[in-house]
Each structure stands twice: as structure tokens, then as C-alpha cells.
Amino acid sequence: MSIIQEMYDLTKDKIESLCFSNRIDCDIQTNQYPIVFKFRIMEDGEILTTQTSCAEMVFEEELQIRTTADFSIDEKTFNKIKNLSKKAHHLYLHAFFETKKLVENS
């Protein structure tokens, strides 16, 4: 495993830990473009199944943040999640292209 992949995994773990401690479920979707980070509020360890209480960070040409009406977290936590998500996205792209280069050169 490359250093870049390890850094991505550590950053992803930080996001998941921060979310878990704030009762938020995090789903990182890297299987297609654009990469999407989905966040849903949890109650009693269960994800709320309604369409409300969720947010998405969509990494296209620019970061787009979409939230539903009742998704609410404090600004400090939101900024930590946003900054870690941006870092994870950046590292994921580096790891993706690093892997692609290794495959092409083998």
C-alpha cells in the first residue's frame, strides 16, 4: 500500500470517527464521478430513514454542498467534516492516478 493510500485511509477514518462521535452516518461514494460524501443524522445508533436530515458534498469542478431542510450540525463540526472531506477527496484522486500509473507501467 502506498503512502498516499495510507494517508487517504487515515483521513477517511478521521471523518468516520468525527461523524460517529456526533451521531452522523458517513457514506463516501468513490465508484463513479463525481465523488460524493453523504451524511445522515443518526438517532439511537440508527440512520433516520426519511429524506430529511441529510447532506451531500459533491466534488465536481467545484465543491457543491446540498442539505435538506432539517439537517443541522454546529458550525465547528461542519467545518471539520468539510475540511477533512476535501482532504480525503484530494488524496483519493492522487491514489487513484497513482494506481492507474502503476497498472499502465506493469
Dist CA 61 CA 68 (whole Å): 22
Distances (CA, A) of 44 to 18, 20, 49, 73: 17, 12, 13, 17
pLDDT over 90 percentage in the chain? 74
Q: What is the pLDDT of residue 104?
A: 92
Q: What is the pLDDT of residue 46?
A: 65
User: How much is the mean pLDDT over the chain?
Assistant: 90
Please say if the pLDDT value at position 85 is more than 90.
Answer: yes
pLDDT, tens digit (0-9, with 9 covering 90-100), for 5-48: 999 999 999 999 999 999 999 999 999 999 999 999 887 766 65
Dist CA 69 CA 85 (whole Å): 22
